Amino acid sequence: MKKILFAIGILLIGACSGPYQLAKHTDNNIRVIADSLQLYDSTIAKMIAPYKQKLDAQMNEVIGEAENTLTKELPDGTLGNLVADACLLYAQNNNAKADFSVLNSGGVRIPNIQQGPITIGKIYELMPFDNMIEVVELDGYACKELFAWIAKWKGAPVSGIELTLANGEATNVKIKGEPFNESKTYFVATTDYVANGGDGATMFAKGKRNSSNYKLRDAIIDYVKNKQTIKADNNGRIKQN
């Protein structure tokens, strides 16, 4: 009985919690033997079974197809390109001023999406955090800091922008096909995590922020549903010299 009450308490606490956001990230793999702590309880399992079946049905829904395997790589990769494209498209549909998108590579939480069906559950694995899309207005100087940030991390998921990394610096920057103009103001689509200075992206504090109140994960789901067939876009948005 105590185990049942404990489980119900955990569910209630989870239901009352606000959305979780990634504060920082580290990558580490640990092999865990199934039920090594012997926490399985048949009574609790029966109690949650109907909810688990409903959740499994939702997570197993196929929303599109990967024509090729999408991979997470630096300086850029096909999986990060998918995420950045979805972010920029949503931002542009809701804020016509959005010029390009820049995200943090650490926010892409799986190494790949295999060729074949793409499920909602796979997108939750890809983007498990409730980070919202924001469009931040940055002047030319802040943009140069952003490009230096990309160089520091040796790449990032981007869309609408091209650049070359050489000797630890970002060069030959083009935005929407046009050379970067330091005297202009640009509108950058990203997440609230990055806009809040996540992974050292402090330059966003200098800009005017506009939150969409829409999760990046949901924008990716929308993007895949709309495209249906996702092709591995590896057009060298960030080149490495």
Q: Domain-by-domain residue ranges, the chain?
A: 62-231
pLDDT computed for residue 5 by the predictor = 46
Task: Count Cβ atoms within 10 A of the Cβ of residue 28 and give its class: 0-12 exposed, 13-18 middle, 19 or more buried.
Answer: exposed
pLDDT computed for residue 35 by the predictor = 55
Pairing between β-strand 158-159 and β-strand 100-102 as defined by DSSP bridges: antiparallel
pLDDT tens string for the chain (241 positions)? 444 444 445 444 444 445 555 555 555 656 655 555 566 667 776 676 666 666 666 889 999 999 999 999 999 999 999 999 999 999 999 988 999 999 999 999 999 999 999 999 999 999 999 999 999 999 999 999 999 999 999 999 999 999 999 999 999 999 999 999 999 999 999 999 999 999 999 999 999 999 999 999 999 999 999 999 999 877 789 999 8
Measured CA to CA, the distance from residue 91 to residue 160 in angstroms comes to 12
pLDDT computed for residue 4 by the predictor = 47
Measured CA to CA, the distance from residue 240 to residue 236 in angstroms comes to 9
Cβ count near 130 (within 10 Å): 16
Q: Which CATH homologous superfamily contains domain 62-231?
A: 5'-Nucleotidase, C-terminal domain (3.90.780.10)
